[in-house]
Structure formats: C-alpha cells, structure tokens
Structure 1
C-alpha cells in the first residue's frame, strides 16, 4: 500500500504544479475580464489555494505514508481523502458537461486521465481508511 501513497503523492504534486499554466491555457486574461473584480480575485486566489492544498496532500502522502496507513488519525485522514476524491470523481461526470470534452481529442484524453486518477485515489484512500 505504501507504494500507492508514493505514486499518489507524486501525482498530486504534479497536479498542483499544473495549476501554474491554468491562466495561460484557459485564457484567463481575456476570460476573467468579464467578471467583477471580486469574482476575478476569487477565481485566482481559490485556484492558488486549491493547488497549494493539493501540493500539501502530495507531500503528506510522500512523507507520511506509513502514518496514514498505520495510525487511527492517519486512517481517518485517508477516509476523508477517499470521500473527497470519490466526490470529485462523481463531479467529473455530473458537474462538467460532456460537451466540453466529447468529440475533442485532447479534452477527451484529459477527461479519461483525470477519471482514472480520481478513481485510483478514491480506491486507495478508501481502502486505507476502512
């Protein structure tokens, strides 16, 4: 199980770092101009903190995998992360319209990659937590 925590930790750090390209990739300079100042700042600040928390979760998995598996607190944290990623997996299908990815090669590939990633993390964390 510890190898899965190392893999997930590395993947979470990569996911967090990928947020750096969001403003460029999603053309936020133009897209966010349409929003009010508060909404624009919420988008950018929340994106930063989401990425930061994902990064810290990655570090936690890399540095404390044994504790996550072998302690009561660790198993509770795993259960919480398992529920979190399971909900995120659900949102992957029901929160985003398939219009955004269906029939588009890159977007479909990203949809599939994230579906597998969220499913993998859900299973590993739920197994560790239960």
Structure 2
C-alpha cells in the first residue's frame, strides 16, 4: 500500500511540475516587433514591473478614420528598461518572447487587449529611429 501511495504522489508531483513548466516557463514563441513607442512605465501593487505599448501598422480603416494596432509588453531586464525609457516617441525595433500564461513578477498579461492571450516579454532593443512622419 505504501508503494502505491508513494508512486501516486510522485506521479502527481511530476504532473504538476510538467503543467507549470508547459504553461508558465516554456517559451511559446518569439519575434521582432517595430513601431512607435507610446507608453513605458513602471507599475504594480506588489511586484513592480515595466510595462509598455507600441503602436504599429495602420489597422482597420473605415469611415475616414483608422484604428491603429497596439503591441503591449513587459520588460524584466533593468538595462532594457533603461534603454526603452529614452526611446519614448521614437520608432523602436524590439525582440520579444511569448509565454502562454503570465506570472506576477514577470509583468502583466494583456490578454483582453491583444490578439492572443499570451504574455510578451521584451528582452532586447534591436534598433531605434526618429519618428519622422510615422
């Protein structure tokens, strides 16, 4: 009987560990996004994280107006955050990684504002340009 309980506990621990890794720590995707950096701030109740917003593309055009697309992201690296703070209003080209679910110390999950419910973490600023005519 003890062997059965022992193996059941081990199996349960392996299942929970696999679930946590699969949804919270495994990189779902990565890529590069560019656009005008509109907002960048440090905020949070318990875990202070850096959060930003990039406007990219034209979006939906209709009735003489357009709705731009937005890329919401978090930053965990202080050096990247310092670089982005100096780039407000400029065209930035950033590399990001996506996770299926968010962790509070990694930043916010903008699932209701984005096309996917993943959490995007910017880990590198690739290029910065002035926003002339953007």
Using the size of structure 1 for normalisation, the TM-score is 0.27
Greater strand proportion: 2
Task: Work out which structure has the larger RCO, using CA pairs closer than 8 Å and 6 or more positions apart in sequence.
Answer: 1
Greater helix proportion: 1
Q: Which has the larger radius of gyration?
A: 2
